[in-house]
């Protein structure tokens, strides 16, 4: 069984890792992941007893609270932390000023100065001590769990108490004061990222105006059903995906596509949930319920995106679990071994060991890496590209080959009958047969009236349909189908899709179906080239001549045509030999190709549910131009993560070495640790900038 528990009060990446580990130690819990950014815990458990234990652990973990999923968002308050820091700072400064004015030679002056610093230490350090104590109790519960014991709270407490033990009272107060300031700034940075996601959540409309026979009524969008008639007033958010029934207007689609221009709509046009009506009021009919709407998919994907961690995130989590116990052991060695060879000068080496311990705290890495990926996912969402997890950003950043389905991806996928050759019977036979098909081409005939009914219909994958109409064997499909059945069908070069119709082995005629290229397809592909994608290919079941005619003018390197559904994955495997492969498609038949590709994207608005489910990214507004922005954002995310890892480790190693030679006092070590963490977090916040 799986369950997502919404929480509040989890503001630290290391704490999230500790909570997840503690939950996984419960018998009956096979998987647990605590998400400190989205404030949720994902559980996989086997029994109600295991779930109850998990709930108990979560509710007693530091200051974490379990909240109802429908509860209003509680504004984050840092009053307690600010008061503690303020009180500590006042007494710390008082002790510093007093010592400067009166010195420490007189016993009364020394005692009073120490009192100021001890009060400063207690004001800032009481919560550190409480958390370290709680973690120590949990670490020895049901076995020994060193990563729960050896966290940053214990590191700072050891450093501060050690400083007091060797008579460095000012440094003891400085350690916990600077640590608290760093924790507050970290919490504010994470809160800022949460605010960005909350802003994204505002895409959801709170209400909808439904038109009934009795007039108008205001309802929750989740109460709407397919076919309901809605009134979309000026300034209203479109509550669900619907089709314009009456009126004309202009929609702000920025929340879906990232573009600021207005999209004009009229009767018959589809409008997606999350858009804002900036023009005249209009009436629209619900196409699909809220749970299946574009905005619901966006919010679900963004909320769940942090569940799939990228390799650097997984590395940092594992690294911290091993790294922290190792540096504690090294600190003990530094404190105890060198003095044995230097006249037992323990005070000197204990001080250096404490410096080493403080500097070694891995906060900068633990916080900045997941925060960068989370910000990257948010940056993509602003551009209308929904990532199903941080792991896919790394894959997207490495893309060298991009392959596309033709119909519905590079073309609009809105088929209409353009020309009929052979008379009305040809059109009606084609319509009767295609009504038995789930192929996108069949949509061209959905409004065509026919006097015939197809029976015993058999869909021949990649070729067409065989059926019986009034006792006659009718074939409707490609020229390839006709040739395989021994029927001559001359293929003409045209950018329209040609459907041939034969009766009892005789060709009756053909129907041409029009499907235009997307207006921005050429610019979108050119932008991908600029982002370092070396090869652009199309995989299509269409004939090569028609595919080339339709795709003429696009900057493509390869067109692989006449492909049956089972042949597309083989072509994808071949393309992967040239580099990391991105595949973009929209239909059910694209899902096998998505499965073999390194990374995949589905057209969100018009794409099938199967394609959206199989893909790693979803283009919410069916805007191909957002692909290049997604690749750019993925590369930027990866670059910032690498910068943070290299910078944090390099600075910490340098500071550790300096501390061993006594060049860094304890307060400076804490300042260095907090400074590195803040610089890494600020660097990660660059992902919040507009692409």
Q: Which residues, in sequence order, are bridge partners of residue 25?
A: none
Residues 6+ apart with CB under 8 A from 461: 564, 565, 566
**Which strand (E) or helix (H) includes residue 211?**
strand 208-212
C-beta neighbour count of 28 within 10 angstroms: 16
Three-state SS at 260: coil
CA distances from 579 to 10, 311, 525, 650, 654 (A): 40, 19, 17, 32, 38
Start-to-end CA span in the chain (Å): 40
Residues 6+ apart with CB under 8 A from 440: 407, 408, 413, 415, 587
Which among 681, 676, 615, 689 is positioned nearest to 649, based on CA atoms?
676
Distance CA(186)–CA(11), nearest Å, equals: 8
Contact 540, 406 (CB under 8 A): yes
Distance CA(198)–CA(73), nearest Å, equals: 9
Distance CA(637)–CA(645), nearest Å, equals: 12
Residues 6+ apart with CB under 8 A from 621: 253, 256, 257, 272, 294, 384, 604, 605
Q: 294-304 vs 169-201: helix axis angle to the nearest 10?
A: 160
Dihedral of the CA atoms 186, 189, 194, 197 (nearest 10)?
Answer: -150
Distance CA(33)–CA(42), nearest Å, equals: 5
Buried (b) or exposed (e) across 568-605, using 16+ Cβ within 10 A? bbbbbeebbeebbbbbbbbbbbbbbbbebbbbbbbbbb
Sign (positive/negative) of CA torsion 232, 233, 234, 236?
A: negative
DSSP state of 409: I
Distance CA(556)–CA(575), nearest Å, equals: 14
Distance CA(82)–CA(131), nearest Å, equals: 18
Secondary structure of 69-109 as H, E, C letters: CCCCCCCCCCHHHHHHHHHHHHHHHHHHHHHHHHCCCCHHH
Catalytic residue from among 405, 616, 622, 623: 405
Q: Is 622 a catalytic residue?
A: no
Which among 171, 137, 169 is positioned nearest to 154, based on CA atoms?
137
Contact 267, 245 (CB under 8 A): yes
Answer left, alpha or beta for residue 422, where phi above 0 means left and psi between -120 and 50 means alpha: left
Active site residues: 405
């Amino acid at each position: 069984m799986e369950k997502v528990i919404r929480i509040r009060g989890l503001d630290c990446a290391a704490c999230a890792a500790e909570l997840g580990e503690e939950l996984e130690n419960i018998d009956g819990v096979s998987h647990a992941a605590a998400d400190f950014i989205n404030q949720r815990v994902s559980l996989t458990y086997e029994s109600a007893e295991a779930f109850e234990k998990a709930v108990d652990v979560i509710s007693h973990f530091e200051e974490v609270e379990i909240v109802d999923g429908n509860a209003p968002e509680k504004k984050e308050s840092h009053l307690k932390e600010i008061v503690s820091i303020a009180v500590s700072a006042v007494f710390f400064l008082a002790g510093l000023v007093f010592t400067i004015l009166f010195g420490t030679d007189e016993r009364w002056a020394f005692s009073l100065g120490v009192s100021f610093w001890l009060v400063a230490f207690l004001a800032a350090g009481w919560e550190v001590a409480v958390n370290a104590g709680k973690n120590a109790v949990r670490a020895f519960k049901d076995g020994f769990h060193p990563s729960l014991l050896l966290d940053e709270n214990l590191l700072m407490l050891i450093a501060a108490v050690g400083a007091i033990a060797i008579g460095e009272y000012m440094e003891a107060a400085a350690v916990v004061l600077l640590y608290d300031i760093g924790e507050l700034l970290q919490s504010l940075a994470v809160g800022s990222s949460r605010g960005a996601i909350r802003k994204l959540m505002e895409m959801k409309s709170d209400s909808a105006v439904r038109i009934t026979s009795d007039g108008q009524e205001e309802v929750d969008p989740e109460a709407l059903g397919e076919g309901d008639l809605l009134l979309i007033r000026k300034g209203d958010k479109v509550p669900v995906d619907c089709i314009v029934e009456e009126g004309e207007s202009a929609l702000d689609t920025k929340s879906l596509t990232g573009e600021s221009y207005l999209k004009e709509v009229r009767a018959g046009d589809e409008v997606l949930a999350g858009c804002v009506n900036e023009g005249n009021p209009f009436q629209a009919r619900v196409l699909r319920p809220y749970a299946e709407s574009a905005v619901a998919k966006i919010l679900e994907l963004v909320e769940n995106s942090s569940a799939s961690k990228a390799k650097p995130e997984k590395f940092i989590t594992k690294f911290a679990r091993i790294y922290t116990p190792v540096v504690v052991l090294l600190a003990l060695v530094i404190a105890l071994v060198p003095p044995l060879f230097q006249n037992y000068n323990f005070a000197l080496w204990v001080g250096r060991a404490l410096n080493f311990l403080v500097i070694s705290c891995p906060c900068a890495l633990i916080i900045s890496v997941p925060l960068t990926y989370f910000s990257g996912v948010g940056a993509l969402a602003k551009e209308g590209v929904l990532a199903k997890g941080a792991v896919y950003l790394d894959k997207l950043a490495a893309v060298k080959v991009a392959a596309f389905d033709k119909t519905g991806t590079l073309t609009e996928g809105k088929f209409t009958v353009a020309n009929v050759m052979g008379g009305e019977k040809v059109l009606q036979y084609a319509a009767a047969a295609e009504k038995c098909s789930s192929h996108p081409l069949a949509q061209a005939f959905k409004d065509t009236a026919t006097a015939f009914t197809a029976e015993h219909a058999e869909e021949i994958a990649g070729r067409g349909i065989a059926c019986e109409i009034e006792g006659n064997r009718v074939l409707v499909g490609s020229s390839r189908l006709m040739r395989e059945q021994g029927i001559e069908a001359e293929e003409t070069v045209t950018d329209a899709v040609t459907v041939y119709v034969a009766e009892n082995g005789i060709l009756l005629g053909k129907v041409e179906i029009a499907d235009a290229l997307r207006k921005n397809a050429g610019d979108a592909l050119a932008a991908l080239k600029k982002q370092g994608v070396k090869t652009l290919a199309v995989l299509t079941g269409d004939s090569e001549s028609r595919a080339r005619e339709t795709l003429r003018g696009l900057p493509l390197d390869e067109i692989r045509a006449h492909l049956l559904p089972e042949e597309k994955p083989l072509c994808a495997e071949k393309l992967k030999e040239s580099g990391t492969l991105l595949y973009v498609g929209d239909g059910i038949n694209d899902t096998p190709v998505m499965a073999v590709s390194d990374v995949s994207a589905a057209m969100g608005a018009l794409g099938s549910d199967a394609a959206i489910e199989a893909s790693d990214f979803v283009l919410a507004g069916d805007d191909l131009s957002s692909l290049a922005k997604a690749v750019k954002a993925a590369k930027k995310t990866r670059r910032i993560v690498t910068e943070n890892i290299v910078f944090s480790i390099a600075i910490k190693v340098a500071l550790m070495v300096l501390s061993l030679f006594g060049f860094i006092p304890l307060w400076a070590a804490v300042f260095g640790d907090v400074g590195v963490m803040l610089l890494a977090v600020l660097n990660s916040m660059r992902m919040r900038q507009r692409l």
